[in-house]
Amino acid sequence: MKCPYCSAPDTKVLDSRNLEEGCVIRRRRKCESCQKRFTTFETVELAMPMVIKRDGRREPYQQDKILKGIEKAVEKRPISALQIERVISNIEKAILDISDKELQSKEIGNLVMMYLRHLDPVAYIRFAAVYRKFQDVDEFVNELKHDEYTQYKIMPVQPKDDSREH
Ligand SMILES: [Zn+2]
């Protein structure tokens, strides 16, 4: 690692520490030339799958989209940036459990709902309302009632099967 102060090509690692249960490595480094110390953080960059949209087009997974959706859902709720970061990291792990090649955008939406339900019931309802674009009131009210009983447990959201015939 190049020194950020004097640009010397080599710096010495003084100390390595695992953070976030080993998902992040923090290193204290010292430049042998100018003697200054600095810190680096090492994280894994996961190769995320492609996302298949409703119209069949594929696009690269974009963390930013999920982040924006969640930020909107937790607006004025007592949720910290760190909590949001953790939720996103859990969602990404769950995405990779489904596939590292491609998955449907609605599967991602379902995962976001599942984790938001656990994080904050109000944020969950907000997100679900937007995401699912509830068209009838009954369905929305049913979700509300259900949520009152399950807000402190992780309950998987039943994926809505659009192709099912009634
Ligand atoms: Zn230096």
Q: How confident is the model at residue 13 (pLDDT cuts 50, 70, 90)?
A: very high
Q: What is the pTM of this model?
A: 0.56
> 45-68 pLDDT, tens per residue?
668 899 888 788 888 888 888 888
More confident residue, 132 or 13: 13
- Residue 138 parent element (H or E): helix 137-150
Question: How many Å lie between the centroid of ligand 1 and the Cα of residue 79?
Answer: 40
Question: How many Å lie between the centroid of ligand 1 and the Cα of residue 16?
Answer: 19
Question: How many Å lie between the centroid of ligand 1 and the Cα of residue 38?
Answer: 10
Q: Are strands 58-60 and 50-52 parallel, antiparallel or unpaired?
A: antiparallel
Residue spans of the domains in the chain: they are 11-43, 50-150
Q: How confident is the model at residue 29 (pLDDT cuts 50, 70, 90)?
A: very high
> 80-110 pLDDT, tens per residue?
999 999 999 999 999 999 988 998 888 888 8
Question: How many Å lie between the centroid of ligand 1 and the Cα of residue 45?
Answer: 27
Q: Is the dihedral of CA 17, 19, 25, 26 positive or negative?
A: negative
Question: How many Å lie between the centroid of ligand 1 and the Cα of residue 33?
Answer: 5
Instruction: Please state, in angstroms and as integers, the Cα–Cα distance from residue 34 to each residue in 3, 9, 20, 31, 37, following that order.
Output: 9, 12, 31, 6, 9
Question: How many Å lie between the centroid of ligand 1 and the Cα of residue 69?
Answer: 42
